[in-house]
Amino acid sequence: MKNIKQLALGTAVAIGVGLSGAMTTVAQAEENYVPLLTYRTGPFAASGIHIANGMHDYLKMLNERDGGIGGVKLVTEECETGYNAQKGVECYEATKGKGALVYNPYSTGITLQLIPKAGVDKIPVLSMGYGLSAAAVGSTFPWVFNVPDTYWDGASVVIKYIGEQEGGLENLKGKKIGYIFLDAGYGREPIPLLEQLAEKYGYELLQYPVGIKEMQNQSSQWLNVRRDRPDYMVMWGWGAMNPTAIKEAVKIRFPMDKFIGVWWSAGDDDAAAGGEGAKGYKAMNFSGVGRDFPALDDIQKYVVDAGLSSTDAETMGGTLYNRGVLNSVIIAEGIRTAQELTGKKVITGEDMRMGLEALDLTEERLKELGLSGFAHPMKVTCEDHAGSHPVFIQEWDGKEWRQASGWIEPMTDIVRPLLEKAAAEYAEKNAPWPARTEPCPN
Amino acid sequence: MLYDIFIDPFVQMYEMPDFFLQVLWEGFVAGILYALIALGFVLIFKASGVFNFAQGIMVVFAGLTLVGLHENGVPAYLALILTIGVMGVLAYGVERVVMRPLVNQPDIILLMATIGLTYFLIGFGEFVFGGEPKQMITEELGLPTGSTAFEFGERGLVILQHIDIAAAVIAVIMVAALGIFFNKTRIGRALRAVADDHQAALSVGISLNQIWAIVWFAAGLVALATGIMWGARSDVSFALEIVAFKALPVLILGGFTSIPGAIVGGLIIGFGEKIGELYWGGLVGGGIESWLAYIIALIFLLFRPQGLFGERIIERV
C-alpha cells in the first residue's frame, strides 16, 4: 500500500514537473523574460526597496495598460540579492536559463562579477549609472551598458559644480574637498578620477572610507572631517550609510549646502533623517523629481491602485522610486528597439544587446511615454555605452527635493580618455579578453 | 615617521584641546553604547554559557516593534510598554522552544540554535515590519534632541548631543538596576548560582527554566534600550544588527561573564578606537577603528587571558 502511494505521488510529481516544463517552454515562446536582481532585505534595503518598486511597477504598468511591449507580455521575476555579490551571482545562474533578456545587478560588486559572464552567456548587463566606469567603452565591453553616466562622469560633475560655486575651476586651487564613501567597489570607483582632477585643479582630496560594518557608526569619520575642515564634502553612500552620514554632518554643524551626494545618496529617507538641519543638502540626479508625470499616473491607476504592487502610494515620486522607473524605461525601450531592429516580437539576449546599443531616448519619445522632463534625452552608441549625459543638482528643502541647477555636462574631454585607458587596462589584466565581434546596429 | 607616531599626536592634543575633549566625549558615548550591547551578551552567557548570536537582531527587533507599533497609532509610551511585553513573550518563547529542549546539549548546539533564532527573527521582522528603515520616535518618547555647544578658547567648540547625554544616563541607570537585581534580589542570587553551576543550582531547587526566561527577558530589555539609542543616532533598520558585533572585542576584553567587565571593556574600546582613529589612523590611510578594537582587546588578553573581569578557570587533571 505504501509503495502504491509512493508510486502515485512520484507519478503526480513527474507529471507536474513535466507540465510546468511544458508551460515554461510556452511562456518562453510568447513572453519576454526580464529577471530583476533586487534587495528588499538587509542593510541596503532602505535604498533597494524603492528602486525595486519603481522597476517592477513600470514594467507591470506596461503589461496592464498596453499588454506588454509590441503585443508581447513581459514576465518579470525578482531575485533577492541582499546587495551581496555571491547571492547576486547565484540569482544570475538561477535565472539565466529562463531566457533572460538583461540583468540589472544594482550593485557594483555584482556587476563586476557579471561582466565576464555577459559575453559568454550572451545576456547584456545594464548597470544604469553605476558599475565599472570603463564599461562605457563599447568596443571593449559590447555586453555592458552604463547609460546615462559613469561614476567618473558624476565625479567630474561634482567638481565642476563646486568650481562654479567658487567662481571657476581655477579657484579650486588650495581648497580641500572631502570624499566620504562606502568602502566597497562602489565607493572606491570614482577615486581615480577625483585624484586626477585634484592634480589638474590643485585641490586637496581628503578620503574618509566607511566600512560596511561602520555604516551606522560614523562618528570617527565625521570627527576627522571636523578637524580637517574641508571646504566641501562629497559622498558616495548607499543604504544605511546615507542617513547616518547626513545626521553626523548635521551633528558637527557642517554647512549642508557644501555637502553633495552622488545620485545614489539622493533618497528622500536619506535626507529626511537629518531633520531640519539637513536643509540645503545636495545630491546629483538624472531622473525626475516628484510625481507630476502622466506615466506615474498610469502606474498608480493600473498597478498601485489595482493592488498589483507592494508600493506605498506616498513613496511614488521619490528620487529612488523614480530612478527605478527610469531603469525600467531603458529596459522597455531597449526591448522595443530590439523588436524594431530584428522584426521579432519575442527577443533574445543578443537582440536585447542590439536594442540597448541602438537606444535613442529623445525628448519626443519621452513625451510619448508620458515622461517629458523626467530625464535628459539619452543616446547609446557602439563606442559609448554610457553617453556621459548631463545631470543636475537637487537640494533638500527640509521636506522634499527641489531641482537646484540646470543640466550640467560631465567633463567628457577628461573622462573619456581615462575611460579608454581603464578599459584597455581591464582587458590586459583579464587577458585573453575577447575582441569585439558583435555587429554594430547603428 | 617616529615623530608622526610618538610626538605629533600629542602635539595635536595639546594644540587643539577642544577637539581632544570632543574625541574623548565621542569615545565615552561610543563606549557606553558598546557596553549596552555587550551587557545583553553577558547576561545570557552568565546564565547559560551560550554566546547569543541573536543579540544583534534582538536590538533591531525591539526597535522595530517600538516604532512599528507607534506608526500604527499606538501612543509612544504605550508602545514602549507593549514592546517590553513583546520582549517578554519572546523570552518565554525562546526558553520554551529553543532552550528547554536543548538542555544539557553541548555549547556549540546552543550557539547554532541562537544562529537559527537570528534568521527566524530577521525573516519574521521583515515579514511584519518590512525592510524599510524607520525613524526612531525620539521626541515622542520624551528623549532630548538637539545639542549644546561649549565654547573653548578662541575658536574651540565642544558639542554635546543631548541624546548622547541621555544614552549615558540611561546606560548608567540600567547597569545600576541590573547590579541591584543580580546582587540584592532572590532571583538575582539564583541566577548567579545557575551561572556558577547548573547542576548544583538545580539540586537546591532553583528552576533553570524560570531563570533562563528571566535572563532572556533582561537581555531583551537591554536590546530595547540599545535599539532606542542606536536608532536615534541613525535609524532603525536591519543594518543595526551589524553594529551589535562591535560588542565582540568588548566581551573579549571585559570577559564574557562580568557586568562591570562589559562596562569597563566598552569604555576602553570606545576611548581607544576613537583616539587611535583620530590621532594615529591617518598614518595608515584611516579606517582603522574596525580592527583596532580587536588589537586593543588582544593586547589586554596577553596579560589577562580570561579578560579583565572574567572568571579565572583552573582545571586540574
pLDDT digits (tens, 9 = 90+) for B203-237: 888 888 888 899 999 999 999 999 999 888 878 88
Mean pLDDT of A372-390: 96
- Any chain B CB within 8 A of the CB of A188? no
- Beta carbons within 8 Å of A235's beta carbon, 6+ residues apart: A179, A180, A181, A242, A245, A259, A260, A261, A262, A265
CB contact under 8 A, B133 and A243: yes
Q: What is the pLDDT of residues B230-281, one digit of tens each?
A: 888 878 888 888 778 888 899 888 888 888 888 899 999 999 999 999 999 8
The answer, yes or no, to whether residue A228 has pLDDT greater than 60, is yes
| Residues of A with Cβ-Cβ distance to B122 under 8 angstroms | 41
Q: pLDDT grade, residue B315 (50/70/90)?
A: low
Of A125-129, A259-263, A314-318, minimum mean pLDDT range: A314-318
Domain ranges across chain B:
2-246
CB contact under 8 A, B133 and A269: yes
Q: What is the pLDDT of residues A197-211, one digit of tens each?
A: 999 999 999 999 998
Mean pLDDT of A279-300: 96
The complex scores an ipTM of 0.84
pLDDT at position A356 is: 98
Q: Which of A43, A49, A223 sits opposite B239 (nearest CB)?
A: A43
Helix (H) or strand (E) holding A72: none
- Beta carbons within 8 Å of A410's beta carbon, 6+ residues apart: A149, A152, A153, A154, A156, A157, A160, A388, A389, A390, A391
Domains of chain A with CATH codes: 26-150+289-390+419-429 (3.40.50.2300), 152-288+393-414 (3.40.50.2300)
pLDDT at position B24 is: 95
More confident site: B156 or A324: A324
Say if CB B135 and CB B64 are below 8 A apart: no
CB contact under 8 A, A46 and B235: yes
User: Mean pLDDT in chain B?
Assistant: 88
Angle in degrees, CA A414, A417, A421, rounded to 5: 135
Q: What is the pLDDT of residues B87-134, one digit of tens each?
A: 999 999 999 998 888 877 888 898 999 999 999 999 999 889 888 888
Distances (CA, A) of A91 to A82, A212, A245, A353: 11, 22, 31, 20
Q: What is the pLDDT of residues A93-113, one digit of tens each?
A: 999 999 999 999 999 999 999
Helix (H) or strand (E) holding A28: helix A2-30
More confident site: A272 or B234: A272
CB atoms under 10 Å from CB of A364, counted, come to 10
Q: Interface of chain B against chain A, CB under 8 Å?
A: 16, 19, 22-23, 26, 29-30, 122, 126, 130-133, 135, 147, 159, 161, 230, 233-235, 237-243, 245-246, 273-274, 277-278, 281-282, 285-287, 289-290
More confident site: A10 or A41: A41
